[in-house]
Amino acid sequence: MRLLALHVQDFRNLAQVSLAPSAHATIAVGQNGQGKTNLLEALYFLATLKPLRAGRLSELVRWGTDGARVSGRFLLKGAEREIAVEVGGGTRQAFVDGKKAPSLEEYFGGVSVVAFTPDDLEVVKGGPDSRRGFLDRAVFNRFPAYLRESREYARALKNRNRLLREGGAVDPAYLGAYDETLAKAGARIYSRRRALMSELAPRAQATFASIGRTVDPATYGYHPAHLGGDFAGADEAALALALREALSERLRRDSDRGFTSVGPHADDVSVTLGGRSARAYASQGQQRALVLGWKIAEIENLQTCMGFLPLLMLDDVSSELDPERNAYLMDYLSRSGAQVFLSTTDGSLVRGAAAEDTLWLSVATGQVSLTEPRTPDAG
Ligand SMILES: Nc1ncnc2c1ncn2[C@@H]1O[C@H](COP(=O)(O)OP(=O)(O)OP(=O)(O)O)[C@@H](O)[C@H]1O
């Protein structure tokens, strides 16, 4: 997969940007607050239909305008196709080759992106919801149908919670029908996450061992909350049954509280170092290496399982790493052969990822311009 052209219109502070990225590294350099992350976010949004940072879609639209548009021409399995997304009035609309996308699967059709941002540290330091978000982005890349499947689950959960909140005497038959739907959709989420983690965890552990500069081994594990039975060995039907049982066991408590306390929305990912919680005991640098181990594993796993490298996006990551780990990452990027997009305030930090064909961009007050080749520190 390769992005041949990117067009951005009225997306955050970017009024109009058109560029033909390098097949390898495209590097956006600029001072703080100029629009570098916005440029990467536009690409991320195009490739995932999810905002990288925004809570609401309306935040993506340039102030004073009615709508934003991002489009990209991709080379995918030897054929060119254009995908586009428009945001306006709080909703988004996806297009494939100029026509409304018939389905999300059709829209993505092999486009995927792995993003590295300073917020990724939350996967170790933050709460379960950050870790679930992190896990779900990786699952979505690996199994594109996951976006639709996780929406089905979210819808079923919302309906059940509404019923619980309404209180009073909930008709058991009525609730049973909701539980059935929720258990089925939930079982699919469990099995997707479990499949991804079984591929990813050993790779991430091995990658961490090569960058961690510590003899303590790391582990990455996925744990469904409050689910009985043998999780590792259960098929999807058995997972649905276990979830249905857990839902009915907790019904009284859930009715009192007005929300569903068991299911994939309550899961967590554990990250340990030397057998201890990385959140509680790992140093800042070790936590960064743990995240880096995960991300590199995700890229390599996609390459092995899907047969292509995702686009890589690194938002001001080098300033967060010590020189040795930064050099490791830059070297990895230049050797990977992946198409990479980097943002930085200091071009010299990412020079290790650059080559002859690198596209250097300068970003200032929402304007993106090409800078002369081999003058990376300009801008
Ligand atoms: N919807 C919007 N419309 C117009 N401008 C916006 C919008 N959303 C954010 N901005 C502006 O975008 C700018 C921030 O851009 P961005 O986050 O890309 O900065 P950056 O270059 O990555 O900076 P840093 O190096 O500090 O991370 C801010 O000036 C902010 O006010």
Q: Is 317 exposed, middle or buried (0-12, 13-18, 19+ CB in 10 A)?
A: buried
Q: What share of the chain is helix, strand, coil (3-state, %, to 5)?
A: 50, 25, 30
C-alpha–C-alpha distance, residues 247 and 172, integer Å? 12
Residues 162, 191: one domain? yes
Residues 128, 266: one domain? yes
32 is in an annotated binding site: yes
Bridge pairing between strands 276-277 and 311-315: unpaired
**Is residue 299 one of the residues assigned to a domain?**
no
Q: Which of 68-77, 106-115, 349-358 has the highest mean pLDDT?
A: 68-77
What is the band of 186 on the pLDDT scale with cuts at 50, 70, 90?
very high
Q: What is the pLDDT of residues 61-72, one digit of tens each?
A: 999 999 999 999
Q: How far is CA 346 from the centre of its chain?
A: 25
What is residue 175's predicted lDDT score, i.e. its pLDDT?
79
State which of 284, 299, 321 marks the end of a domain.
Answer: 284
State which of 232, 250, 284 marks the end of a domain.
Answer: 284
Q: What is the pTM of this model?
A: 0.87
Q: Tokens 């936590």 — which residue?
A: 287
CB 52 within 8 A of CB 45: yes
What is residue 47's predicted lDDT score, i.e. its pLDDT?
95
Residues 239, 168: one domain? yes
Contact 56 CB / ligand 1 (< 6 Å): no
**Is residue 117 one of the residues assigned to a domain?**
no
Residues 218, 253: one domain? yes
36 is in an annotated binding site: yes
Average pLDDT over residues 341-346: 95
**Is residue 137 one of the residues assigned to a domain?**
yes
Give backbone dihedrals phi and psi of 373, rounded to 5 degrees, phi first.
-55, 150
Contact 63 CB / ligand 1 (< 6 Å): yes
Q: What percent of the chain has pLDDT over 90?
A: 66
339 is in an annotated binding site: no
Contact 188 CB / ligand 1 (< 6 Å): no
193 token code pair: 């996450």
Contact 41 CB / ligand 1 (< 6 Å): no
C-alpha–C-alpha distance, residues 115 and 138, integer Å? 10
Atom of ligand 1 nearest to the CA of 39: 18
Residues 134, 232: one domain? yes
228 is in an annotated binding site: no
CATH of the domain at 351: 3.40.50.300
State which of 250, 284, 318 marks the end of a domain.
Answer: 284
Residues 44, 97: one domain? yes
Residues 256, 179: one domain? yes
CB 276 within 8 A of CB 165: no
253 alpha carbon – ligand 1 mean position (Å) = 44
What is residue 212's predicted lDDT score, i.e. its pLDDT?
65
C-alpha–C-alpha distance, residues 265 and 186, integer Å? 9
Average pLDDT over residues 289-313: 92
Residues 212, 359: one domain? no
Average pLDDT over residues 76-88: 95
What is the band of 173 on the pLDDT scale with cuts at 50, 70, 90?
confident
Contact 34 CB / ligand 1 (< 6 Å): yes
**Is residue 60 one of the residues assigned to a domain?**
yes
What is the band of 97 on the pLDDT scale with cuts at 50, 70, 90?
very high
Q: What percent of the chain has pLDDT over 70?
A: 96
Residues 23, 74: one domain? yes
Q: What is the span of the domain harbouring residue 93?
A: 1-112+310-379
Q: What is the pLDDT of residues 218-276, one digit of tens each?
A: 999 998 988 877 888 899 999 999 999 999 999 888 888 889 999 999 999 999 999 99
Better pLDDT: 274 or 130 = 274
Contact 59 CB / ligand 1 (< 6 Å): yes
Residues 244, 141: one domain? yes
Residues 87, 33: one domain? yes
Contact 365 CB / ligand 1 (< 6 Å): no
293 is in an annotated binding site: no
> How long is the chain?
379
Contact 379 CB / ligand 1 (< 6 Å): no
Give backbone dihedrals phi and psi of 359, rounded to 5 degrees, phi first.
-95, 115
Average pLDDT over residues 29-57: 93
Contact 38 CB / ligand 1 (< 6 Å): yes
Mutate-to-test residue for ligand 1 from 12, 31, 362, highest number of ligand atoms within 8 A of CB: 12
What is the band of 9 on the pLDDT scale with cuts at 50, 70, 90?
very high
Judged against a pLDDT cut of 70, whether residue 170 lies above it is answered with no
CB 41 within 8 A of CB 51: yes
Other CB atoms within 10 Å distance of the CB of residue 304: 10
What is the band of 373 on the pLDDT scale with cuts at 50, 70, 90?
low
**Is residue 290 one of the residues assigned to a domain?**
no
What is residue 120's predicted lDDT score, i.e. its pLDDT?
85
**Is residue 172 one of the residues assigned to a domain?**
yes
What is residue 378's predicted lDDT score, i.e. its pLDDT?
43
Contact 32 CB / ligand 1 (< 6 Å): yes
CB 262 within 8 A of CB 247: yes
Q: What b/e string do you get for 207-239 counting C-beta neighbours within 10 Å, with b at 16 or more? A: bbbebbebebebbbebebeebeeeeeebeeeeb
C-alpha–C-alpha distance, residues 95 and 125, integer Å? 37
113 alpha carbon – ligand 1 mean position (Å) = 21
326 is in an annotated binding site: no
Alpha helices in the chain (DSSP H): 36-48, 104-108, 122-125, 128-142, 146-166, 172-211, 236-249, 251-257, 278-281, 284-306, 323-336
**Is residue 302 one of the residues assigned to a domain?**
no
Residues 6, 46: one domain? yes
Whether the ipTM is more than 0.90: the answer is: yes
C-alpha–C-alpha distance, residues 39 and 19, integer Å? 11
30 is in an annotated binding site: yes
CATH of the domain at 275: 1.20.1050.90
**Is residue 291 one of the residues assigned to a domain?**
no
| Count of the separate structural domains present in the chain | 2
Better pLDDT: 231 or 84 = 84
Atom of ligand 1 nearest to the CA of 61: 1
113 token code pair: 């992106």
